[in-house]
Each structure stands twice: as structure tokens, then as C-alpha cells.
Chain A
């Protein structure tokens, strides 16, 4: 199972919006509504910020939003804050009943 494709890095200035893409295939991202996004700060465990494509867990800022079109899912961070600087990973259920992660995107707040 190949990893989902994410850009290695994305940057933006405080207050701006950025979007991270996550490209898979019809056997994972395109075939299911089960895409999640995780935020990970250095030396910390991952934190779920989006599940089932666009749902936010309780307590997660509404500055984070998710969407999907075809085989590509996207995470948008609006009103970028310094605390949003972290690594972000997408994940999807697959047709083999396994799970697959993206390679990760480092977000830098300029």
C-alpha cells in the first residue's frame, strides 16, 4: 500500500489561509468517506483534527476544515496562527481494509 501524497511543506503568514492536499487513489481516498487529518507538534503524539473528510472533533478550532474531490482530500487552515506550525498528516481507509497515511506536510508560519 503506497503512502498518500502530500506536499512536503506549506507556509503562510499569520492570518492567511493555507490548504494541504492529500492525493490517493480510488482504492482509498476516492473510494471512501473515511479520511482523517492529524496535527503533530515536535515530540508529541498526533492529534486528530478532522475525521470522515470534514468533521471536527469536539474542541478542535473551526479554523480547520476538510474536503474531498475525487481522489484528493484537502485540509484548509484559516486565520493562520503561530501555534499552527506543526506537521500534518492525512489518513484514509483502504479497499484492503487497512489504513494508509500520507507522507506528512510541514506547515511553517512565516
Chain B
């Protein structure tokens, strides 16, 4: 079964740090980009970051630039989102999703994890 499983969420004070993990199974992890997307309570989906297949390319949304770092280890079938200097407004469910490119485009974010909840509060 193709799966992505996130973990690492929890309650943290403003200014604190968390490291989210996204563990893949059932497919060739190194063939896929990994995206992180978040959803604040009662709000819509917001893209956060993505990393390319070998980890050589990463992009971030403006609101996390300089605070969050995405990384991956293909030998461990795992991607991470290191979140520093957390703010109350970072409170959300964080999802990881995979995306595979093809010659003319991509197959979209076709598999998502179940999400992990991050709560930033004093």
C-alpha cells in the first residue's frame, strides 16, 4: 500500500521549534518531490514548501522563509520539515504530499498523508 505518514506535531510555545517527519512506504520515494501543505483550523489549504527528488532544490512560501527548512533522506524514505521561530499563526494541520514529474508536466500531488497537528500557544 502506498502511504505517507506524518508525525512530530504537538504543542509548542511561540518562538519554539518542531521537526515534522513524513515517512513513505509502498513506492520508490526517490522518484518523487515532496510538498508540505498546511491547513489552519477552519481555513483552507496553504502551500508551505517542497523539495526535489535528490534534495538539491527547495522552495518555500514567503511566510516561512528563513524559519522553516525542508530536507529528505532517500535511504530512509523520509522527508522532514524543521520549523523554528514558530508563531501562533503557524498553528495548523501539516500534510506532506508526493508529486512525480513527467516529460510534459507532473502527475499532481496524488498521495497525501493523514496530517499532523501543530499548535503554537503560550
Closest to B105 in A: A52
CA distance A33 to B8 in the complex (A): 34
Judging by beta carbons under 8 Å apart, are B59 and A57 in contact? no
Q: Is B47 an interface residue (CB 8 A)?
A: yes
Contact present for A48 and B109 (CB under 8 Å): yes
B72 beta carbon closer than 8 Å to chain A: no
Bin chain B's interface residue count: 20 to 34
The interface on chain A, measured as residues whose beta carbon lies within 8 A of the other chain's beta carbons, has a size of: 28
A36, B47: Cβ atoms closer than 8 Å: no
- Asked whether A64 is an interface residue with its Cβ less than 8 Å from the other chain, the reply is no
B45: contacting residue among A33, A38, A57, CB under 8 A? A38
- Which residues of chain A have a CB within 8 Å of any CB of chain B? 1, 3, 33-34, 36, 38, 40, 45-48, 50-52, 55, 57, 87, 89, 91, 96-104
Which B residues fall within an 8 A CB radius of A?
Answer: 35, 37, 44-47, 50, 59-62, 95, 97, 104-110, 112-115
